[in-house]
Amino acid sequence: MMCISAQYFHLNRILLLIIGLWPYQQSKLDRLRFIFFLGILTTAILFQFTTFFSSKCTANFIVKVLSNACFFNIYDTLYLFAINIKTVKDLLTQLQYVYDEIKDECENAIVEKYNSNAKRYTKALTAVSICGTSALIIAQLWSNIIDVILPINISQPHRLPIMTEYFVDQEKYYILIFLHLNAAFCIGVAGMVSVGTMLIAYLEHTCGLFQISSYRIKRAMRLIILQNINPKNDILLEEIKYAVHIHRQAMKLSKATVSKFEAMLFCLITTGIISLSLNLFQIFRIASIEDNINEIIIPCIFVFNSILYMFCANYVGQNVTDYNNHVFDTVYNVQWYIAPLHIQKLILFLLQRGTKAFDNLVIIGGLFVGSLEGFATLVSASISYFAFLYSTRQ
């Protein structure tokens, strides 16, 4: 029997193992690694908020601290995935049961196609995150590199990319603080990519199940039209039954994925909107101050990451909806009316399901629907909040 976690989620397994969140065979070392990484990430957030105890809290200062802390909090929110680690295992087990029923070569080819799509998403997002993280670290060290290549007699004070308060001499312990902040950033990026690509890969496989359902419906009607099989033949009935069964399984898995992670996704949406709004405000504020133009790099990276993650999450939600709708388009377009009455009743069952909106399977918190329209809504809301903040500054 094929093990889907080894064959189809191999890359996701490696990424989740790195941060100690792979649901199978969790050792004490995995749990210790996860706690250690979470501790680094959490303390990095806390030491940003401690700046309120040692500095004057002006409006610009509060926005600057919150813009960084909220983005780091997105990383921390992703570790809510750990609470649902058993759910991930259950979802993979359910998908395993569905794939064990697939025997047709064409259906296996469909599964392989969507597995390849999932791997491409995983590889692409991993590559973007590695390049982005490397660029951020190089940008922070660039002034030191220039000093080595073109040394000057004037000593430059070290400047951290993010405002923090460790209650120590930050110039003396600059290297340790620098390592702590960048370790937290790398851990957060690793968590975001690992968890995000795992959910994307799983939903991509459910899209494959919708495609298999469409394939079964087309094949069943082709058996009558092209091969002149008796409409009363049990083969036709089994084909339609299997198509309905696969479709129900795909809907069940999609709904379970969203509902189990609803709290995490809702927190991510809320924190993401706040972070995007504050960092847009920071970009425009810094751009108006020529002396601090170098500080614009961090908020730009935060804005890019927030928009990219929002887009990927909503694009996958749109994909699930589109593939479900494709099943109903297939049912409408085939010559279902030439099938016997008992087959038509099964097909009508699918058509009735098609009259109901599928969006309720990819809705989060009863308020937000995962779709490209939803992505536009999130960005629009963030820009509206940014515009309000910027207008109060004038």
What is the end-to-end Cα distance of the chain in Å, rounded? Answer: 66
What proportions of the chain, in percent to the nearest 5, are helix, strand and coil? 80, 0, 20
- Cα separation of 327 and 207, whole Å? 11
The answer to whether residues 363 and 369 touch, using CB atoms and an 8 Å cutoff, is: yes
Q: How far apart are CA 204 and CA 201, in angstroms?
A: 5
pLDDT of residue 116: 93
What pLDDT, on a 0 to 100 scale, did the predictor assign at position 234?
63
Q: What is the DSSP string of 234-268?
A: HHHHHHHHHHHHHHHHHHHHHHHHHHHTHHHHHHH
Domain layout of the chain by residue ranges: 4-393
Q: How confident is the model at residue 337 (pLDDT cuts 50, 70, 90)?
A: low
pLDDT tens, position by position, 255-274: 888 888 888 888 888 888 88
Residue 295 has pLDDT above 70, yes or no: yes
Cβ proximity of 264 and 77 under 8 Å: yes
pLDDT tens readout for residues 121-135: 999 999 998 988 888
Q: What's the DSSP call for residue 230?
A: -
Q: Average per-residue pLDDT in the chain?
A: 81
pLDDT at 117: 92
- Residue 145 identity (one-letter amino acid): I
Residue 353's SS3 state is: helix
Residue type, 363: I
Counting runs of H as helices and runs of E as strands, what totals does the chain give? 13, 2
Instruction: Round to whole Å and give the CA distance between 275 and 301.
Output: 12
- The tens digit of pLDDT for each residue in 73-124 reads 877 777 778 888 888 889 898 998 988 888 788 888 999 999 999 999 999 9
Q: Could you give the 3-state DSSP secondary structure of residue 348?
A: helix
Dist. CA 277–CA 386, nearest whole Å:
5
